[in-house]
Amino acid sequence: MSTAKALPGFRDFYPEDLALRSHIFRVWREVAGRYGFEEYDGPPLEPLELYTGKSGEEIVGQLYEFLDKGDRRVALRPEMTPTLARMVGARGGALKKPIRWFSIPQLFRYERQQRGRLREHFQLNCDLIGEPGPLADAEIIALAIDVMRGFGLGPKDLRVRVSDRRLLHALLEGERQSEAQIDLWHQVLDKIHRVPEETSLARLKEAGVAKGAVDRVLAVCKARRWSELEAEAKDPGLRKPMESLGQVLGALKDMGLEEFADPDLSIVRGLAYYTGTVFELHDAKGELRAICGGGRYDQLVGSLGGPELPCVGFGMGDVVLGELLKERGLAPTSTTRLDAFVVGIEGADVPHVLQLAHELRDAGLRVEYALSAQAIAKQLRLADTRGARFAVVMGADERARGEVMLKDLDRKSQRAVGRNEVVGLVLEGTGQ
């Protein structure tokens, strides 16, 4: 019989793996809380139609979908935004605006496995709902940046590439592109950093896009500084969307985050519901997939039957982020260590070991002891294996004196202390 394995693209989380996941979740929650965001959640299984009309062809083709026992077409959630829009739509009038919500869902997509992409992952979703202005866009982008700063990453480690679909659309309309050609431009630009440029040029040429238009659009899309973008985007029809993008980047500058962000009109995001500002966060070396992506989606809540509400948000997955933290030496090196290991010398010590261990645990300390009779040396080896800071040794002689032997395993020292002092000394020694 062959050994059972996890399904392709799905993960087992051994303690060291879960330590990294827990670390990521902890930072996500802490930084989102600093921005005033509240946590919510929704079901992992939703009606199929929630995604088929709103998420775009790429995601629809990757759905885990099936017919349930009630003959309903359902799908495991591939993203969280449609669920959020459905929930907000159900109570939209009663919710105080602007809404600041975040969630950490597990998402599922049946797609080709590659570095940084699996068939399931966890994702931080942060959304700000009910505010249409550029400051809301900047607030969401700043939150994404500060999450990364919370992991110890700086501008030398990552870049935020910011665009605006309204600006790109105005640029393409100025070049007299048809709707079909505009759709093609979105597809081409969405993959322009992952496929050879000649492949993209060939697709545009085949669709009848004139070389002059290609050159002008690509020149604007390759600008990486605001001054470069202004020099390339001179058409008067671009003035209003340029102003909106400029306000977003200006707000990031006022927050002291300017060195993280670059304008980049090649960022379009593949999801069909984005309507304005869009952005992606990448490692500075460009070796990994996007760590985070998001933007403005002002029509989604209304399209699901709720009130018309402006929305902006992002999703940040744990897979690429975990790889980046490991590469930078910022991942937890081990699971949480023990604070103390209680050692009994002989069988008569067992009740006293149990009593002391429980007192230490009641004080909030991580404590173990041997669950069967073992020599002292073996118990101390187990304490070392568990990474215990202290070993507390007790036997008949120590009990007669009202003492225990407290071993500091980090400092390789030991001393006799009063039995009633142990809890306080271990708390002090572990910084609790």
CATH number reported for the structural domain that contains residue 346 in this entry: 3.40.50.800
Number of domains in the chain: 2
d(CA 117, CA 317): 9
What pLDDT, on a 0 to 100 scale, did the predictor assign at position 93? 78
What pLDDT, on a 0 to 100 scale, did the predictor assign at position 332? 86
Same domain membership, residue 399 and residue 367: yes
What sign does the dihedral 167-168-172-173 (CA atoms) show?
negative
Same domain membership, residue 369 and residue 250: no
**Tell me, what CATH number does 32's domain have?**
3.30.930.10
In a domain, 5, yes or no: no
What pLDDT, on a 0 to 100 scale, did the predictor assign at position 237? 81
What pLDDT, on a 0 to 100 scale, did the predictor assign at position 221? 85
In a domain, 9, yes or no: no
| Ranges under pLDDT 70 in the chain | 1-2, 53-58, 270-272, 334-335
Same domain membership, residue 322 and residue 348: no
Same domain membership, residue 351 and residue 307: no
d(CA 345, CA 352): 11
d(CA 9, CA 365): 37
What pLDDT, on a 0 to 100 scale, did the predictor assign at position 54? 62
Provide the whole-model pTM. Answer: 0.86
Residue where one domain finishes, among candidates 278, 295, 327 = 327
In a domain, 274, yes or no: yes
Write out the residue range of the structural domain in which residue 387 sits.
340-429
In the numeric block, the tokens 């049946």 are attached to 110
SS (H, E, C) 176-223: CCCHHHHHHHHHHHHCCCCCCHHHHHHHHHHCCCCHHHHHHHHHHHCC
Same domain membership, residue 216 and residue 355: no
Same domain membership, residue 197 and residue 135: yes
